[in-house]
Amino acid sequence: MALMSVPANKNLLARAFATLAVVAGLMASLLTGVAAAHGSTVDPPSRNYGCWQRWGSDFQNPTMAQQDPMCWQAWQADTTAMWNWNGLYREGVAGNHQGAIPNGQLCSGGRTGGMRYAALDNPGQWKAVTKSRQFTLDIWDQARHGADYLRVYVSKQGYDATTTPLGWNNIDLVATTGRYAPSDHYRVAVNAGSRTGRHVVYVIWQASHSDQSYYFCSDVIFQ
Ligand SMILES: [Cu+2]
């Protein structure tokens, strides 16, 4: 390092290295953001994926409070739950999902990560997408973890997502799958029977790379 031996340049070099360190740190955190990516139900969109999709570039816009009040309260509660829409998982559940997640906390995966995702449990006017009663659900696996299985539940007719936090007693298992090899998307055919109106679709994605279980609530209106 010939440059280091020139005393006059020491200060300048120190500044340059400090700047480089900051830039490297920023790049590392950006890369970590990508490396830590996991996934979510993207169709119908999970609560936080939908909020991120609709408002991620404009999340401080106060009109959200009227236009999309449940996203507003979720963004206000914890922005990291939106940026980390792909990180709603628990580890080491060993298949005992009902034991790990209390009633009323299904949409936050039993408040995984503390209170981070807790606002997703709140009942209210979540934006819902219109679906026919037979539809194809799509999970986006950014990390290509694979799936041991997917379980898809739909809320019972009469359950009201605008007034009641989701419990195990509010949902019926409507689809369960075998393994999926690692890929970007896992799709599963769902038949919601004779349900009509507003419902919650609840998904458990058991990833294959480790005992990592994901939990997603998506709001739908069946035609
Ligand atoms: Cu992951």
| pLDDT level of residue 29 (50, 70, 90 thresholds) | very low
Q: How many angstroms does the Cα of residue 205 sit away from the middle of ligand 1?
A: 11
The first and second tokens of residue 118, run together, are: 């807790």
| Total number of residues shown for the chain | 223
Q: How many angstroms does the Cα of residue 125 sit away from the middle of ligand 1?
A: 29
List the one residue out of 65, 32, 70, 66 whose CA is nearest residue 50.
Answer: 70
Q: Tell me: pLDDT of 7 over 50.
A: no
Q: Tell me: pLDDT of 5 over 60.
A: no
Provide the pLDDT for residue 197: 98
Provide the pLDDT for residue 25: 43
pLDDT digits (tens, 9 = 90+) for 111-142: 999 999 999 999 999 999 999 999 999 999 99
Q: How many angstroms does the Cα of residue 91 sit away from the middle of ligand 1?
A: 10
Q: Tokens 């989701």 identify what position? A: 166
CATH-assigned architecture of domain 37-222: Distorted Sandwich (2.70)
- Range 162-179 average pLDDT: 98
Provide the pLDDT for residue 34: 43
Q: How many angstroms does the Cα of residue 19 sit away from the middle of ligand 1?
A: 32
- List the chain domain ranges: 37-222
What's the Rg (C-alpha) of the chain? Answer: 21
Render 90-147 in DSSP notation, one character per residue.
EE--TT-HHHHS-TT-GGGTTTTTTTTTGGGG--S----EEE-SEEEEEEEETT---E
| pLDDT level of residue 16 (50, 70, 90 thresholds) | low
| pLDDT level of residue 35 (50, 70, 90 thresholds) | very low
Q: How many angstroms does the Cα of residue 82 sit away from the middle of ligand 1?
A: 16
Q: How many angstroms does the Cα of residue 35 sit away from the middle of ligand 1?
A: 9
**Average pLDDT over the chain, rounded to an integer:** 90
